[in-house]
A and B are shown apart, each in its own frame.
Chain A
Amino acid sequence: MSEKIRITTPLTEEQSRKLKAGDSVLISGTIFSARDAAHKVMTEALARGEKLPVDWQNQIVYYLGPTPAKPGDPIGSAGPTTSGRMDAYTPTMLEQGIKGMIGKGSRSKAVVDAMKKNGTTYFAAVGGAAALIAKSVKKYEVLAYPELGPEAVAALTVVDFPAIVVIDSEGNDYYEVGQKPYRRL
């Protein structure tokens, strides 16, 4: 594997546009969790003209719903959820300034178009490697919608969170690139 690129949040558009599909990265700083229910609530709030509980400008969203932390731990198991379920809300959310998304799986054309426009990078973490990934999370603090339980919006302090750029801001898709040489049907 190639040399890992270190990223410290916030992630600017300029930094994001330099990342290329297939790059391995280690992310440190603060990232913010939000998944299905939080995306629904946030986009509905935007439609009503309300302000969101997080300023998403130059931030990274992590599609995550962790298990509860055992006593003494910052977080429970914390792997990525399927990003495609957020696609319906993502173009709206990217308009809020999000520059990085962490999840797993493919994205829609509308999302890729919005990524190109906003200079956003889509990272994948290893799906199901939740106990391992949790080791890079040092703090988990719920910021909004605590009533959503595991789907609450939270700030995560991470050190060397491992991820791979799967779709870059030019729309190159590493799922396609990575699978093609091994497709022998």
Chain B
Amino acid sequence: MRTIEVQEVTKALAKMCLEAAYYLPEDIYAALVKGKETEESPLGKDVLTQIIKNADIAKSEDRPICQDTGLAIVFVEVGQDVHFVGGDLEEAINAGVAKGYVEGYLRKSVVGEPLFNRKNTTNNTPAVIYTSIVPGDKVKIKLAPKGFGSENKGGIKMLVPADGVEGVKKAVLDIILHAGANPCPPMVIGVGIGGTMDKAAQLSKKALLRKITKRNDHPEYAKLETELLELINKTGIGPQLGGTTSALGVNVEWYPTHIAGLPVAVTISCHATRHAEAEL
């Protein structure tokens, strides 16, 4: 049994909020640079140049890449031999998010209740938290702040087994075409296949945590990722004003499902696909 003070979680998360907001991950940056080289539309090239310049400014001056510094999505893997002391884990996570967003001059984009009152909570909490128990005595924290320009364009489709691979491709493409230039392309696409409606949605979020340069371990899903990326880059959406660089990467995660079902969920992320990690 290993004892961990929850204050350590708070401290780690506060730091991660800043890292995620200011520094674009290297795989995304490299894909933008490559996209600029291969983009066929002159205006698309110009947009990509501005997006790269923006990432450079954000990094060198410690400024948020995007004004929408997102809703904090926190994935916590807790080793089953860990004993948290010093307070409530969820409160400690939210305290870390609040500290990061307030002290880091990040935008507070959370309303305390979604429908009737919609009052800003002023510290960007609560986060959306996914906790899982894993073997070992370590705690892994992954933060993925999610902007809502792209989040609003995600979707889910409850396909049936007969729809097959072509059905999955069509469902993903329909969601992307409907999103158009709204989610600040070039996009990064997370796809969750299988499980239940909620499980597929959660998988599509988890998919975005993986580097876009790393393909799914399962060869058929790896092939599907490559084919979906090619398909999406033929939509013409491009880097916002048309072109051939509509998406930088497609990551698919899957889970066993029911004999009657084939759920497909798509989370769209913008070119500012941000995340940070820590291990305690």
Contact = CB atoms under 8 A, between A and B. Distances in A.
- A is bound by B: yes
Interface of A: 1, 37, 64-70, 76-79, 81-82, 84-85, 104-106, 124, 126-135, 148-151, 162, 164, 166, 174-175, 177-185
Contact of B243 (A77, A78, A81, A182): A182
Nearest to B185: A127
Given A104-B184, A175-B180, A182 B242 contact: yes
B154 interface: no
Given A68-B107, A76-B64, A150-B108, 7 more contacts: A65-B109, A76-B67, A85-B152, A105-B180, A130-B54, A166-B241, A179-B237
A79 B237 CA distance: 20
B139 interface: no
A26 B164 CA distance: 49
B229 to A, nearest CB: 14
B175 interface: no
Nearest to B272: A128
Contact of B67 (A106, A130, A175): A130
A185 B28 CA distance: 25
Contact of A77 (B43, B65, B149, B235): B65
**Chain B interface residue number, banded:** 35 or more
A179 B242 contact: yes
Contacts of B64: 67, 76-77, 130-131
Interface stretch (B45-53, B208-216, B220-228): B45-53
Contact of A104 (B181, B234, B243): B181
11 contacts: A68-B107, A81-B68, A106-B181, A127-B240, A130-B66, A131-B61, A149-B120, A174-B241, A179-B237, A181-B242, A182-B40
Contacts of B234: 182-185
A90 B244 CA distance: 32
B131 interface: no
A104 B105 contact: no
Contacts of B258: none
Contacts of A84: 182
